[in-house]
Amino acid sequence: MVAFSTEPVDEYTDKLRRVLKPTGGIQIRKVTNPTDGERRVLLESNTYPDPVTAIELTITYAETGGLSVTYRENWDGDYWECRWGRHPNAHNTDDHFHYPPDAGTSDMPPAVDASYKQDILVMTDIGDFLAERYLDIVSSESATYPSQYTWTNEYCSATYEFPP
């Protein structure tokens, strides 16, 4: 059984709060604690244009596994999702990124290697990605639904190996 740790996940969540504060448009609405070692961060959806109806991050920290952060946008039932990982795995280096629109679940490889900042500073990499994604969505003339989206490493491109 995997042992989850409350203390590190709270530190990662607090760091995310501090990172997102200066971005302006991205606002945390609520943080819930579904389980030990997991925090669900709900973002304020009214700052995103229609058809984005809900935005959330799930931060998970397991003592034996490490960090995983999932970002998910709900586009009227169509989902744009990606996931940052810093943990041992069989598919990539410990630092890796499961790319959008479906966190790599329908693609091979399922993730690309990444170069994150050390320790808790990985949350600044995630915050930078979210800020670029947010600016792209709010400044776009027309919406690109997740089912029509193809990842081209357009956000924080120096952090991720591309192409997958």
Q: Is residue 21 part of a domain?
A: yes
Of the chain, the end-to-end C-alpha distance in Å amounts to 32
Q: Report, as an integer, the average pLDDT of 96-107.
A: 89
Q: What is the pTM for the complete model shown?
A: 0.92
Q: Is residue 102 part of a domain?
A: yes
DSSP, collapsed to helix, strand or coil, labels residue 157 as helix
Question: In terms of Cα–Cα distance, which of 52, 29, 14, 44 is closest to 138?
Answer: 52
Instruction: Find tokens 């792209």 and name the residue.
Output: 136
Query: d(Cα 88, Cα 127) in Å, to the nearest integer?
Result: 23
Q: Is residue 1 part of a domain?
A: no
Q: Is residue 164 part of a domain?
A: no
Beta carbons within 8 Å of 96's beta carbon, 6+ residues apart: 84, 85, 89, 111, 112, 113, 114
Instruction: Find tokens 């966190």 and name the residue.
Output: 103
Q: Is residue 73 part of a domain?
A: yes
* pLDDT in the model for residue 136: 93
Q: What is the pLDDT of residues 128-151, one digit of tens each?
A: 999 999 999 999 988 899 999 999
Q: Residue 113: which domain range?
A: 6-158
Q: Is residue 163 part of a domain?
A: no
Q: In terms of pLDDT, which residue wins out, 53 or 104?
A: 53
Q: What is the pLDDT of residues 36-52, one digit of tens each?
A: 899 999 999 988 998 99
Quote the number of domains for the chain.
Answer: 1
Query: d(Cα 80, Cα 69) in Å, to the nearest integer?
Result: 14
DSSP 8-state symbol, 110 = S
